[in-house]
Amino acid sequence: MTVRPARTDDVAAIAALERDSLGDDAWSEGLVAEGVAGNLPTIGYLVADVGGEVVGHAVASVVGDIAELQRIAVDPAHRRTGLATLLLDAVIGAAREGDADRLLLEVREDNAGALAFYAARGFAEVDRRRRYYRDGATAIVLRLGLGPTCG
């Protein structure tokens, strides 16, 4: 299994992962294509590749000293195999390379598995965004400090 930058031939697989993992909050295939093509400034797509098949992806942006993990998803058949950790580690590495001193993300407050995953990796809650998701669910904003200037 490898994590690599997404290519244009990965777009359909990424869009399918979006639909399967994120439901109503999934990004369209057109938006994914724009991001993978590099047409969305500051956005980077990574994929987890197992035997030539895209089974996970992560999307992050780095602007100034702030990085944001916008998406991370792994195909259900490949969960609990370390792919999410590999994707997150790659995002953290890219954020550090981009001189970010913190990584932010949002998680649905009812997603106990994701909250535990991020807590185990040092993320801390810094805010809540009420009615953030299409269905009205609250998002919990998490932060991971990446450098000495992040308080």
In tens, the pLDDT along 47-80 reads: 999 999 999 999 999 998 999 999 999 999 999 8
Query: 55 φ, ψ to 5°?
Result: -120, 5
User: CA 140: distance to chain centroid?
Assistant: 14
Per-residue pLDDT of the chain (151 residues), as tens digits, is 899 999 999 999 999 999 998 888 899 999 999 999 999 989 999 999 999 999 999 999 999 899 999 999 999 999 989 999 999 999 999 999 999 999 999 999 999 999 999 999 999 999 999 998 888 999 999 999 997 666 5
Distance CA 68, CA 56 (A): 18
pTM to 2 decimal places? 0.91
Domains present along the chain, CATH in parentheses = 2-103 (3.40.630.30)
